[in-house]
Amino acid sequence: MRVCLHVCVLTCTHLRCMLKCQRQGSCSISLGLISPRQVISQNLEPGCWPASPAIFLRPPPWPRGPEITGLTEDEDVQAMLRGSRLLKIRSRTWHKERLYRLQEDGLSVWFERRIRRAASKHIFFVQHIEAVREGHQSEGLRRFGGAFAPACCLTIAFKGRRKNLDLAAPTAEEAQRWVRGLTKLRARLDAMSQRERLDHWIHSYLHRADSDQDSKMSFKEIKSLLRMVNVDMNDMYAYRLFKECDHSNNERLEGAEIEAFLRRLLKRPELEETFRRYSGEDRVLSASELLEFLEDQGEDGATLACAQQLIQTYELNETAKQHELMTLDGFMMYLLSPEGAALNVAHTCVFQDMGQPLAHYFISSSHNTYLTDSQIGGTSSTEAYIRAFAQGCRCVELDCWEGPGGEPVIYHGHTFTSKILFRDVIQAVRDHAFTSSPYPVILSIENHCGLEQQAVMARHLRSILGDMLVTQALDSQNPEELPSPEQLKGRVLVKGKKLPATRSEDGRILSDREEEEEEEEEAEEALEAAEQRRRAKQISPELSALAVYCCATRLRTLEPSPGPSQSCKVGSLSERKARKFTREAGTSFVRHNTQQLTRVYPLGLRMNSANYNPQEMWNSGCQLVALNFQTPGYEMDLNTGRFLINGQCGYVLKPASLRQPNTTFDPECPGPPRTTLTVQVLTAQQLPKLNVEKPNSIVDPLVRVEIHGVPEDCAQKETDYVLNNGFNPCWKQTLQFQLRAPELGLVRFVVEDYDAASPNDFVGQFTLPLSSLKQGYRHIHLLSKDGASLSPATLFVHIRIQNS
C-alpha cells in the first residue's frame, strides 16, 4: 500500500522550517509506508524559528511597528505616526508646545525639545507607561490645567519614579486619538508572546544597524548589530558566520541570507539538547513524550489531556498540531510562555483563602506614602498614592498637620517637603484605591492636628468616601473580632487613635494607648492615668469614631492585657524595636501577631528614605511592614516578590506556623533543615545594554541567587562571569541551598555586570516566594530596578526542590 500525500501550507517564503510546500496539482509526494510524524520530522530544520502566520524573522524591508503590533490599519495609531503638536503643562505659566510622534517601531514615542539632546533622551517607551488618563485626572492638571478644557487633556503616568506627562491637545478629538492609540498599543504589548517580543526586539535593532537603510547588511553593519544586542563576537568567527550566509558572495546579506544569519545567532543549543532527550532522532514530541517531560518537570496533575492541550496552544506548525505532535518551535513557545515560567501560573490569580481574620495576612504597606523622593526636601504628591495603589499597596500613610484656611495638610513635619491637602488625598483614595485590588485599604493616620481640623478630617472622610468607609463593626455581636479581607471588599479602614471607651473599677481611664502592665507603685499609676487623660483630650470624637478595627497604639510589651479581646488594636513600632522583640521574645512576638495587627516603620534616621529588610519582620508574622515605595532597591524587590502572588491583590496568607495562637515557632530557632533547593543556572538571553551611548560597552554577566528567610536560611551564591556576552551567555553552574523554614523563603535571581575594579552594576532581577517556584526547566523574566519588564531578557534555569 502506498500513501500519496499533498501538503500545502500558506506561509511567507522566507520561513523554511515548515513542511516543504508543494502546490497541489504541480506534483505529488510518494512517501510509501511512512507516518505523519516522520513526514513532519523529515522536513524540519533543527533550531529554526517557528513558521507561522505571525511575523517572526521577516526579511527586509523591516516591518513597521504597527505591523508588528497588528495595528497597521488603525486610524488612531496612524495619526500618532504622523505626530501631533501638544502642550506640555508643568505649572500655571509653564506650557510648552512639543511635537510628539509614534516611532516606526510602534512601541516608542519621540518628542521634540527646544534644546536638543542625544536622540535617546527624546524617547519614551510604551512598555514604561503605567496608565493613560483622560481629562483633569492628575494632580498637575487639576492644579494647572484650568485654562484647558478637560476633553482636550490627557495624562501619561509612568512606572517607577518618572514624573507624569500632562498634555493638552488642540482639539478633543486629537486628545482622544492619543488616549485610544496608547491604550491599544499597551493592550497589544501586554498580549504579545515572548517570541513576538523577541521578534520586535531583533527587528528594531536590525533597523538601527542598517545605517544606509538599503535593507541589506554589510559585515560592518552586522558587527554594529552584534554590539547593539550586547555581544562582542570575535571578528574571525563573526565573519565566518557572515560568509556562511552570504550565498550571493557579494559581501552583503539580504532577504533569506539575513534570516539565515539570525537563525544562527538566535539558536538555543541548551533547549535543543533537552528537546532531543525526549523526542529522539525524529525531532518531534508526541503527546505521551511531552507528558513524560511534564512529569519529570514535577508538574502537578499532568495528564495526557494536559499534554495534548499544550500542543494545541503552543505548536505553530498546523500539520504537527493536527497529529498531536510538538516541534522544537512549539516546545520553545511553551517554555517561554507564562506556563513555562518559574512563577507558578496558578498563583498569579487569587488562590488563597480570603475569609480569615485580617491578622492572618501579610498586607502590602507603604511608609510616608505621600513622598516622591526623600523625607527631608522631597515633593509630596497625590500621585504617590495612586502609584502605590497601582503596585497593590493596601495600607498607606497620611501624616496630617494643621493647614491654612482650616484645611489639614499632609507632609513630613518640620522638613522642607511640600504640602498637599488632606482632602485631595482622600479623593485620590476614592478614585484609585480599588483599581488594582478589591480588598480593603487601611489609611494609617499620623495625627498632628488640633481638635477643629481633626473634625474637618472626619467630615472629609465621611463625605468623600461615603459607603466605602467603615464606620461601625460589621458584626455588632462580636465588635472586637477582626473581619476578613473578603468581608471588607471595597471598604476603607481608618487606623487612628481612639478615645477611652471604658473605666476600670478604680475609675482609672483605660484606652487603646495603654499597653504596659499595671505598675505596682501608685505614684507611677497616677502619672500614667494623667497622661492617658491628657492624650484623650487631644483626640476628636468625630475622628475617634472612625477607628473601628484599627485602633492605633504603641506596642511596648508583648504581655497580654487583662480584659476583653485586643484584636482591634494595631501596635506600631520602629524597625529597631521589632528586631528587639524578635531576638528577645521570638515566639511571644509571633503569637501576638496571630491575634493583632502590627505595623513596623523605618527609623527616622533614614533621611534619604532608605528601606530596611522587610523579611526580618515577616519572619515574626508582622502584617503591616511599611516601606518607602518611592525608593528602589533589594528591599522593594523583596516586597514586590512577597506580594507577586495571590493576584497581586496586596494580601498574602501567612504560613500556618504564623497563624496558630499557640504556635511554638521562633524565627531565631527554626529547627533542622527541611528543604534542599538546587538551581542550575544554564543560560541567559538578550540582556539589556547598560551603556547604550557606548557601542563597545558589553556586559560581563554573572548570576547571583539569594535566599531571604529566617536568619539561618539567608544565603547567596553566584556563578562565574561570562566575558563580553550579554546576548546568550552560558554558565551551566549549579548552586544549592538548605532551608529550615521554606514556607517563609523568598528566592531572588540577580544578574550583574562584573567589574573587577568597582562594585558590579545591576542588570536585572526577579524575586518570588519559594512556595511559588516551579521545578524543572524554567525561564525567569527579568525586571529592571524600578520593576519594569526587561523583555525579552530572560534567564534559563533548572530548579529542583527536595523536601526531607
Q: What gap in Å lies between CA 183 and CA 515, rounded to an integer?
A: 52
Coil, helix or strand at residue 501: coil
In contact, 730 and 270? CB cutoff 8 Å:
yes
User: Which residue in this structure is represented by grid cell 491578622?
Assistant: 359
Residue pair 49/15 in contact (Cβ under 8 Å)? The answer is yes
Segment (H or E) for 538: none
Q: What are φ and ψ of residue 728, in 5° steps?
A: -150, 55
Cα-Cα-Cα-Cα dihedral sign, residues 373, 378, 384, 385: positive
Q: Is 620:613 a contact under the CB 8 Å cutoff?
A: no
- Is residue 749 within 8 A of residue 767, CB to CB? The reply is yes
Q: Which of 651, 574, 566 is nearest to 351 (CA)?
A: 651
What is the four-CA torsion angle of 135, 141, 144, 149, rounded to 10 degrees? -10
**Residue 122 bears catalytic tag:** no
Of the chain, the end-to-end C-alpha distance in Å amounts to: 58
Q: Which of 203, 412, 708, 779 is catalytic?
A: 412
Residue 339 near residue 310 (C-beta atoms within 8 A): yes
Q: Which of 200, 360, 367, 779 is catalytic?
A: 367
For residue 113, the 8-state DSSP code is -
Alpha-carbon span 290 to 304, nearest angstrom:
8
Bridge partners, 603 (sequence order): none
SS3 672: coil
* Strand, helix or coil for residue 267: coil
Q: Which three cell numbers stand for residue 118?
A: 542625544
Amino acid identity for residue 107 in this structure: L
List for the chain the helix, strand, coil content (%; round to 5).
Answer: 35, 25, 45
CA distance 710 to 757: 33
Q: Is 96 exposed, middle or buried (0-12, 13-18, 19+ CB in 10 A)?
A: exposed
Contact between 100 and 109 under an 8 Å Cβ cutoff? The reply is: yes
Cell of 444: 494609617
CA distances from 528 to 213, 519, 521, 538, 563 (A): 81, 9, 11, 16, 18
How far, in Å, CA of 336 to CA of 752, rounded?
22
CA distance 523 to 503: 19
Among residues 710, 645, 713, 716, which one has the least CA distance to residue 676?
A: 713
Residue 225 · residue 261 · CB < 8 Å:
no
Q: How far apart are CA 593 and CA 803, in angstroms?
A: 28
Name 531's Cβ contacts closer than 8 Å, sequence gap at least 6. none
367 assigned to active site: yes
CA 411 to chain centre: 28
Residue 651, SS3? strand
CB of 132 within 8 A of CB of 126?
no
User: Could you tell me the three cell numbers for 350?
Assistant: 487569587
Which residue in this structure is represented by grid cell 499597653? Answer: 515
Q: Which residues pair with 341 in a beta bridge?
A: 779
User: How far apart are the C-alpha atoms of 298 and 799, rounded to whole Å?
Assistant: 10
Pairing of strands 675-685, 701-708: unpaired
Which ranges in 298-348 belong to alpha helices (H)?
Answer: 304-314, 318-322, 328-336
Cell numbers found for residue 764: 536585572
Which residues are marked as active site? 367, 412
